[in-house]
Amino acid sequence: MLKICVGLLVLALTIPCYAMDPPKILKFKNNVVYDHEGHQGICNSCHDTIEGGNKISGFGKEWAHKNCIGCHTRVGNGPTACNDCHKNP
Ligand code: HEC
Ligand code: HEC
Ligand code: HEC
């Protein structure tokens, strides 16, 4: 966390930085691009706490397919097909 904040401060001193700023875009294996900004307000649907920010223990294929696709299916929004998440270059 501290590392991220320090990193942001170094990159742009004008960016307000508090402990729980999530990284905007995360890139996972097999070309999955995940956008924290498009998933605001529901931190604890993935993270353990409402504030978010902790590493998600056990994050990986199993976790992602269960939770990411699970929610997209449940709410009827967001990608559920392999290639909609795994963008092949
Ligand atoms: C749809 C799932 C999801 C939601 C919702 C979500 N995150 Fe995340 N977040 C992740 C994933 C996945 C990672 C990378 C986890 C890892 O590497 O263990 C991550 C990483 C982070 C990190 C970096 C953690 C680190 O130590 O590197 C921060 C900070 C963070 N999220 C904050 C938030 C905040 C604040 C919210 C709510 C506004 C939020 N997240 C909502 C999935 C989510
Ligand atoms: C709690 C519900 C929920 C969870 C968990 C969730 N999503 Fe989503 N996701 C959504 C919703 C709702 C949308 C549609 C948002 C929109 O179109 O504004 C969406 C949209 C997306 C999109 C397409 C829009 C974009 O940002 O490009 C991608 C890609 C995506 N999610 C990836 C993921 C990944 C990867 C995970 C797991 C790490 C995940 N989502 C977990 C609810 C969720
Ligand atoms: C909602 C987005 C989403 C959908 C839909 C999805 N995946 Fe994934 N997939 C992920 C995420 C996120 C990971 C975890 C990547 C990581 O660990 O960094 C992952 C991981 C994987 C991995 C492991 C990659 C590795 O190198 O370890 C494979 C293989 C995979 N998915 C195949 C598929 C297949 C096949 C489908 C369709 C049946 C599918 N995925 C649908 C998001 C998705």
- Separation of alpha carbons 75 and 21, rounded Å: 25
pLDDT level of residue 85 (50, 70, 90 thresholds): very high
pTM metric for this prediction: 0.83
pLDDT of residue 65: 95
3-state helix, strand, coil in the chain (%, to 5): 45, 10, 45
Which residues does ligand 2 sit against, CB inside 6 Å? 32, 34-35, 38-39, 42, 45-46, 64, 67-68, 71-72, 75, 77-79, 85
The CATH number fitting domain 23-85, selected from 3.90.10.10, 3.40.50.740, 3.40.50.1970, 3.40.50.1820: 3.90.10.10
Tokens at 71, concatenated: 């929610």
Question: In angstroms, what is the span from residue 68 Cα to ligand 3's centroid?
Answer: 10
- Which residue, 3, 7, 10, 14, is CA-closest to 55? 3
Residue range 25-77, pLDDT digits in tens? 778 877 888 887 777 766 777 887 767 667 788 889 999 999 999 999 998 99
Residue 33 CB: number of other CB atoms within 10 A? Answer: 11
Looking from the CA of residue 59, the nearest atom of ligand 3 is: 17
